[in-house]
Amino acid sequence: MRKYFCILFCVVLLGCQDLGSLLQSPTESIIPTETETAKALTESLVIGMSKASDRLSIENGFFANDLIKIPFPQDAQNIASALQTVGAGKLVEDTVLSLNRAAENASGVAKNVLVSAIKAMTIQDAMNILLGPDDAATTYLKQTTTPTLLTQFRPIIQSSLSQVHATEYWTQVTTKYNQINVMNVFGKPVETDLTSYVSGKALDGLFYMVEKEEKSIRDNPIERTTALLKKVFGYADTKKQ
């Protein structure tokens, strides 16, 4: 009786319009609706994925990040070793820099593709992501955007490889290698498709950063900047305990 008297007192004196919300049980009040879940996930993922794309598309977004920096092609390591042996290591370094510049140039288009995929999520997708493993959103985005991203990356990277002189460096590398690789003493000739190589590595780097942003959204309360985000991710926290 005392509880309901206090509620009535609040309604009269404070002008509370929704008596039902005051009578709502604590459990009911903290459980987000499916619509709230979808809205919160869309809001947080759009911000997070935009950050991931933006960080990669600036100069040194790839080259200065050792975790995603694109190395000299693995199947051409014998070329790198041979050139370094004869004092042409600078050519290898220039090639690596140009490969990363091409990836940085292409990464800017990723934002729109990722955001479109996020906004196309169904409510069921959102619930599965919220209560799924820590990389659930990343997995969803890989599955829904990889073909589109590769299609959009390839022409940009192909053009960028020429603009940043990667194609020129690669020609110099292979020419120099062929000159010193008499009778294949350093190994068999290498034919690396630079566009495919850089496109694949750029995609790997992108999803690495996407997963990092997803983890930040899930684990860092400071990232939950609105009441809705706190409610939805707070509820997810309780379900995983």
Q: Given pLDDT bands bounded at 50, 70 and 90, which one contains residue 4?
A: very low
Annotated domain spans of the chain: 35-240
133-178 confidence digits (pLDDT tens): 989 999 999 999 999 999 999 999 989 888 877 777 777 777 776 6
Q: Given pLDDT bands bounded at 50, 70 and 90, which one contains residue 227?
A: confident
User: Which DSSP letter does residue 188 get?
Assistant: S
> Does residue 80 have a pLDDT over 70?
yes
**Sign of the C-alpha dihedral, residues 166, 167, 168, 174?**
positive
What is d(CA 155, CA 189) in angstroms, rounded to the nearest whole number? 26
Q: What is the pLDDT averaged over residues 78-82? A: 74
What is d(CA 12, CA 34) in angstroms, rounded to the nearest whole number? 33
pLDDT at position 176 is 72
21-61 confidence digits (pLDDT tens): 433 444 445 788 889 989 999 999 998 999 999 999 999 99
Residue 234 identity: G
What is d(CA 194, CA 92) in angstroms, rounded to the nearest whole number? 14
Q: What is the pLDDT averaged over residues 184-195? A: 67
196-217 confidence digits (pLDDT tens): 889 999 999 999 999 999 998 8
- 126: closest CA among 239, 232, 7? 232
* Residues across the chain: 241
